[in-house]
Amino acid sequence: KTASNPFNLVHADLRHLESTISLLLQSTVPKLSQISNYYINNSGKRIRPTILLLLSKATSKSHLVSPSQRKLGEITEMIHAASLLHDDVIDNSSTRRNIPSTPTAFGNKMSILAGDYLLAQACILLASLNNTDVVKIMSTVIANLVEGEILQLSSRTTDFSIYLEKTYLKTASLISLASKAAMIVDSRSEEVIHAAEEFGKNLGIAFQLIDDMLDFSNFDLGKPSNADLKLGLATAPALFAYEEFPELGPLISRGFGEPGDVELATNLVLTSQGISKTKELARKYIDRAKIAISSFEGSPAKDGLDEICELVLNREK
């Protein structure tokens, strides 16, 4: 077990990433710089770039991060921030990171346009890598985010495999494919590229399982909790609860749309094993993520990746 927090291992790299992104988002239209930078400035966990930086260090003989790998970290954080600017419109969500959400602070139109701007700046940075394979990989990520979001909006199903597919698309794809790309741009072996992709995929699915579990908690998440049922979404805790309480079936099918549905479903989920089963499943994905990188040589960065796995599983926000 490492003595130091994995985020400390990349502290300087993250400060560099933040200032670089902020420069990239400068625009002659001042509002655009402000809104596109809004979530990036406001102390996110930076988990995605931290993973990329640690994977880069752990798999480099010199333990150095290349300029292209840094850029991929920046691109990844920009795509993530763009998805949040759109997500808070779609979810009609009032707060994030303990501040008003961008739709609340600036309106839906501004939030969507600032997301588009961020995405465009991420594409410009992506082009500067001069690697068409990596352009394809990161463009696939953007397509996957949209596919995951549409699948979520259009599927009121009790089918767990569809939930997992959606979870890959809307959350794990970004971490997984960005990790893969970060290995490709610095010419890692096929084995290492595959290991990074598997690590990101399993960690990403665990990350969203915990996000969906925390939505049922009373913790201060910095964003509204108990939100998913109100949005009509049956996530892992509700799907596990349905196995014990089949009477949840019709509520899931109608998107918890009738008066009293949300309250009844909340009570059944909290009475069921849904929360603990969700955490157990997240543990399985976390273990798979750790196994994926188990052949990496020992280093502080490798220990940091293992530590991130535990932090993702045990986080309370």
Residues forming the site for ligand 2DE (CB under 6 A): 79, 82-83, 86-87, 90-91, 93, 115, 119, 142, 145-146, 149, 170-171, 211, 223
Partner in contact with 115, chosen from ligand 2DE, Mg ion, none, beta carbon below 5 to 8 Å by kind: ligand 2DE
Residue 91 interacts with Mg ion (CB under 5 A): yes or no = yes
Rounded to a whole number of angstroms, the minimum distance from the CB of residue 232 to ligand 2DE is: 12
**Contacting Mg ion (CB under 5 A), which of 211, 261, 303, 306?**
211
SS3 content of the chain, % helix, strand, coil (to 5): 70, 0, 30
Exposed/middle/buried for 190, CB within 10 Å: 0-12, 13-18, 19+? exposed
CB of 59 or CB of 171, closer to ligand 2DE: 171
d(CA 218, CA 233): 18
CB of 52 or CB of 172, closer to ligand 2DE: 172
d(CA 105, CA 128): 33
Residue 63 falls in which region: left (phi positive, over 0), alpha (psi -120 to 50) or beta = left
For 185-232, give the DSSP string.
TTT--HHHHHHHHHHHHHHHHHHHHHHHHHTTS-S--SS-SS-TTTTT
d(CA 58, CA 54): 6
**Closest of 193, 94, 87, 216 to residue 134, by C-alpha:** 193
Residue 261 interacts with Mg ion (CB under 5 A): yes or no = no
Partner in contact with 83, chosen from Mg ion, ligand 2DE, none, beta carbon below 5 to 8 Å by kind: ligand 2DE
Residue 13 interacts with Mg ion (CB under 5 A): yes or no = no
Partner in contact with 119, chosen from ligand 2DE, Mg ion, none, beta carbon below 5 to 8 Å by kind: ligand 2DE
CB of 18 or CB of 91, closer to Mg ion: 91
Residue 255 falls in which region: left (phi positive, over 0), alpha (psi -120 to 50) or beta = left
CB of 211 or CB of 307, closer to Mg ion: 211
d(CA 5, CA 9): 7
Exposed/middle/buried for 209, CB within 10 Å: 0-12, 13-18, 19+? buried
Rounded to a whole number of angstroms, the minimum distance from the CB of residue 125 to ligand 2DE is: 14
Residue nearest to ligand 2DE (CB): 86
Rounded to a whole number of angstroms, the minimum distance from the CB of residue 193 to ligand 2DE is: 23
Rounded to a whole number of angstroms, the minimum distance from the CB of residue 84 to Mg ion is: 8
CB of 16 or CB of 315, closer to ligand 2DE: 315
Classify the C-alpha dihedral 49-54-55-56 as positive or negative. positive
CB of 59 or CB of 152, closer to ligand 2DE: 152
* Size, binding site for Mg ion by CB under 5 A: 3
Partner in contact with 269, chosen from Mg ion, ligand 2DE, none, beta carbon below 5 to 8 Å by kind: none
Rounded to a whole number of angstroms, the minimum distance from the CB of residue 193 to Mg ion is: 30
Positions touching Mg ion (CB under 5 A) are 87, 91, 211
